[in-house]
Structure 1
Amino acid sequence: MWELRHRGAAARPGGEAASPPREGEAAGGDHETESTSDKETDIDDRYGDLDSRTDSDIPEIPPSLDRTPEILKKALSGLSSRWKNWWIRGILTLTMISLFFLIIYMGSFMLMLLVLSIQVKCFHEIITIGYRVYHSYDLPWFRTLSWYFLLCVNYFFYGETVADYFATFVQREEQLQFLIRYHRFISFALYLAGFCMFVLSLVKKHYRLQFYMFAWTHVTLLITVTQSHLVIQNLFEGMIWFLVPISSVICNDITAYIFGFFFGRTPLIKLSPKKTWEGFIGGFFSTVIFGFIAAYVLSKYQYFVCPVEYRSDVNSFVTECEPSELFQLQSYSLPPFLKAVLRRETVSMYPFQIHSIALSTFASLIGPFGGFFASGFKRAFKIKDFANTIPGHGGIMDRFDCQYLMATFVHVYITSFIRGPNPSKVLQQLLVLQPEQQLNIYKTLKTHLTEKGILQPTLKV
């Protein structure tokens, strides 16, 4: 036994000798202590110098595989790489737009599933980059905890959505009532369990790197889950608040690429050498015009302008309403210089078209900075694309880097300039209250309306 102890001491940094056993310690306890010490020694030797590594020591991620279909490769084999990429991007873009139109036709619920699927895929792409970069370090539980935190955050956000928009449905289901009532406590408990698992997974002399990856996961959650939740919140306000911003970003991306491809000469930003001022300016004007026209077309249909509501009697989402003033034609006086050009005193248009100018302006001037941010991220880790999911385009995150920034702006814009009291949402909240509380609100509201002269006072016999 003493011989084993001396061997263990020789293996320790500095050659520290193991302390003799305390009185009353059993031989089995000594052996367990020695085994634990030996394991700690191995971990120290393995991870001892990791925190001293610099960014230049980060291994390069191997280039993504080319997933272009063979039929396209053969058809475009005679073209230069520049034109080959043009055709691949164009064909795949038209395919994605066609699929997007199909999902719009299938309704709001399918759009929500699409947003959730994109969120999960974007999270997977970013987390995979972190795992590939630090895979040689064998971080314990990194991927498992990352996906666990994704489930926790989604449970919290979508539980809040269910409580807000499906109150009448929840009221009928006893199990759901319990989950909704204690939703925040359950969400906190789930997150706390993940937090404790992370602390227990910490490895000696490897703490800093593990906290880097803990922060990596949480920033990824902030970018993907929070923004996708805002996208769905915008969708509930009316499909038009979902379609116009998203299509404006898509239009800006396409037209900026076209203008840059054919006319681009002046570099725009060092983070993206292929971006040009010509593409940026051409994309801006094209996007504003597109947003204005799209807003005019979509404002005509209740399917796009009505808030998305869940009807428990038909067990489905419905988009039926009397369109608000925002989506009713109004007459506007033209400025003097336009009167002379158009030879008209007034013009009729939907108020939402004015708001569409603000949305499309943001999509074309500020939205691209989401792409520049993503370009900086990719350069930091020496990769061309987040993934190779879509041939010619890269990963899903490469296509939605600007959309997340746009979603936040639209949500802020709606809450700041558009949204007023929502009677249907107030009614749903009232139906959840206890009968006594509902009766008190009824009496208070009746007294208030009587005092304002809207209701006639009840005659007392």
Structure 2
Amino acid sequence: MSELRQRLGREPDGAREPEEKEPESENKLDGETASDSESKSEFGGAPPAPTSDDTPEVLNRALSNLSSRWKNWWVRGILTLAMIAFFFIIIYLGPMVLMMIVMCVQIKCFQEIITIGYNVYRSYELPWFRTLSWYFLLCVNYFFYGETVTDYFFTLVQREEPLRILSKYHRFISFALYLTGFCMFVLSLVKKHYRLQFYMFGWTHVTLLIVVTQSHLIIHNLFEGMIWFIVPISCVICNDIMAYMFGFFFGRTPLIKLSPKKTWEGFIGGFFATVLFGLLLSYLMSGYRCFTCPVEFNNDSNSFTVDCEPSELFQLQEYNIPLVIQSVICWKTVRMYPFQIHSIALSTFASLIGPFGGFFASGFKRAFKIKDFANTIPGHGGIMDRFDCQYLMATFVNVYIASFIRGPNPSKLIQQLLALRPDQQVHIFNTLKAHLVDKGMLASSEDA
């Protein structure tokens, strides 16, 4: 018996309660492997800690009696309403202000992602890392914005001598600027840290691809008409809000491991709410020229104008309702704008594919063991946390316009023709006249 008591008093390690010793795999986030752990020592220590509570003190006091779940709900709700109000204000200020806001958001998102890389690898004190990152951001923005100005404001560029020279050699200047940064990077390479420096070189370029390229596409969408800017962004915002609401009140079934709080109930509820919202918002905006007309530069007034004859997309048309639906709603026809049909595609993408931008960001944050990209917006994280789905949406809208909407722009063609030499204009005129005579749209000189 004494021997038995000794054995019971000296239990082996394997008999202990599992809470006393967690397996090593549980100490890591999903997807982290042994190589990830080993790389921590190579990359300079532990990653940054999760962000702390940054809720304003006023809200903390007002919501002190609530549970953390409901407190987070109210904080997110109040800040969401504030951001929506700010969105309405910048829409009222016009497309140029919107373009500047997009650029500011782009710079902030770039700063948040680059800062994560700097915090993870800072122990090596890599020379010129931050300087080169911001230099490459400047180069890429110069290239993209120069292309946009030349494309949309060709007449203005041709009228001003300095702008005409910059436009003519724009791509060569852009390449020279990038080449300078490339040479600076090569000169900054430090022995024993080559691999890490190339990691960070790739980090900077992937960030530029994700952030700058997408923001450039957002601006292109804006110049096609503010409706192509507002409706997609609003659909993503609506889906984010409604998916959160449905998930908060009805969520039971987990959707994806990368985002444990996401549920199927929120995903499906957000989809139907966003499609309905897209149809209603498109109907309201399609009747106003300030939303549907492209942004153009007026030579006479030297200002940007948003005025045109609405295209067929924004003119009410009558559609026959399928017989199956007629028996349910007792309507045979419905009057709607053709753009509303396109809004279904936009809202569907915002609901079904757009969230994958958020899942991608969640995987990125879990890889570096951070809660948010930053703590800029209480309850929401950083600017990148709010725009992770918007960038994916911007690419889709730009591709959608190029594939199904955009056609030749007569005003741009005329601007380019007027910039040609007189002999080139005469040649094009004779070629076009001969083509129209062959088509029978003009009488030939012999018939006259």
**TM-score relative to the length of structure 1:** 0.87
Q: What is the deviation of 1:459?
A: 6.4
Corresponding letter in the other structure for 1:115: V
Of 429, 435, 444, the residue aligned with 1:448 is 435
1:113-159: CA deviation from partner (whole Å, max 9, x where unpaired):
11111100000000000001111111110000000000000000010
> 1:396 aligns to what?
383
Corresponding letter in the other structure for 1:162: V
Q: Does 1:54 align with 2:33?
A: no
Q: Does 1:202 align with 2:186?
A: no
Match of 2:165, SS state, is: helix
Corresponding letter in the other structure for 1:436: D
Gaps of 5+ in 1: 1-50
Q: What is the deviation of 1:205?
A: 1.3
- Aligned pairs for 1:87-236 (under 5 A) are 87-236=74-223
Match of 1:265, SS state, is: coil
Of 261, 270, 287, the residue aligned with 1:274 is 261
Seen in structure 2, the aligned counterparts of structure 1 residues 431 and 67 have a Cα distance that, compared at 3 Å, is farther
Of 352, 355, 367, the residue aligned with 1:380 is 367
- Aligned pairs for 1:8-19 (under 5 A) are none
1:21-57: CA deviation from partner (whole Å, max 9, x where unpaired):
xxxxxxxxxxxxxxxxxxxxxxxxxxxxxx9983444
> 1:429 aligns to what?
416
Corresponding letter in the other structure for 2:113: I
Corresponding letter in the other structure for 1:454: M
> 2:330 aligns to what?
343
Match of 1:274, SS state, is: strand
Once residues 297 and 92 of structure 1 are traced to their aligned partners in structure 2, the CA distance between those partners, rounded to angstroms, is 26
Once residues 396 and 151 of structure 1 are traced to their aligned partners in structure 2, the CA distance between those partners, rounded to angstroms, is 20
- Aligned pairs for 1:71-90 (under 5 A) are 71-90=58-77
Once residues 214 and 313 of structure 1 are traced to their aligned partners in structure 2, the CA distance between those partners, rounded to angstroms, is 47
**TM-score relative to the length of structure 2:** 0.89
Once residues 176 and 435 of structure 1 are traced to their aligned partners in structure 2, the CA distance between those partners, rounded to angstroms, is 22
1:420-452: CA deviation from partner (whole Å, max 9, x where unpaired):
111112122222222222221122212222332
1:319-341: CA deviation from partner (whole Å, max 9, x where unpaired):
11111111111111111111112
Once residues 445 and 204 of structure 2 are traced to their aligned partners in structure 1, the CA distance between those partners, rounded to angstroms, is 62
> 1:356 aligns to what?
343
Once residues 227 and 177 of structure 2 are traced to their aligned partners in structure 1, the CA distance between those partners, rounded to angstroms, is 35
Q: What is the deviation of 1:453?
A: 2.8
> 2:18 aligns to what?
none
Q: Does 1:334 align with 2:318?
A: no
Once residues 293 and 87 of structure 1 are traced to their aligned partners in structure 2, the CA distance between those partners, rounded to angstroms, is 27
Seen in structure 2, the aligned counterparts of structure 1 residues 196 and 93 have a Cα distance that, compared at 3 Å, is same
Give the stretch that moved more between structures: 446-455 or 171-180.
446-455
Once residues 234 and 215 of structure 1 are traced to their aligned partners in structure 2, the CA distance between those partners, rounded to angstroms, is 28
> 2:300 aligns to what?
313
Q: How many residues align?
A: 411
Corresponding letter in the other structure for 2:38: T
Corresponding letter in the other structure for 2:379: G
> 1:11 aligns to what?
none
> 2:281 aligns to what?
294
Once residues 36 and 57 of structure 2 are traced to their aligned partners in structure 1, the CA distance between those partners, rounded to angstroms, is 46
Once residues 94 and 360 of structure 1 are traced to their aligned partners in structure 2, the CA distance between those partners, rounded to angstroms, is 21
Match of 1:168, SS state, is: helix
Corresponding letter in the other structure for 1:54: E
Q: What is the deviation of 1:64?
A: 2.5
Seen in structure 2, the aligned counterparts of structure 1 residues 197 and 52 have a Cα distance that, compared at 3 Å, is farther
Q: Does 1:66 align with 2:50?
A: no
Match of 2:255, SS state, is: strand
Once residues 447 and 84 of structure 2 are traced to their aligned partners in structure 1, the CA distance between those partners, rounded to angstroms, is 66
Once residues 194 and 86 of structure 1 are traced to their aligned partners in structure 2, the CA distance between those partners, rounded to angstroms, is 46
Corresponding letter in the other structure for 2:211: T
Corresponding letter in the other structure for 2:237: I
- Runs of 4+ displaced beyond 6 Å: none
> 2:5 aligns to what?
none
Once residues 229 and 207 of structure 2 are traced to their aligned partners in structure 1, the CA distance between those partners, rounded to angstroms, is 23
Once residues 450 and 235 of structure 1 are traced to their aligned partners in structure 2, the CA distance between those partners, rounded to angstroms, is 39
Once residues 125 and 219 of structure 1 are traced to their aligned partners in structure 2, the CA distance between those partners, rounded to angstroms, is 14
Corresponding letter in the other structure for 1:183: H
Corresponding letter in the other structure for 1:322: E
Once residues 51 and 327 of structure 2 are traced to their aligned partners in structure 1, the CA distance between those partners, rounded to angstroms, is 57
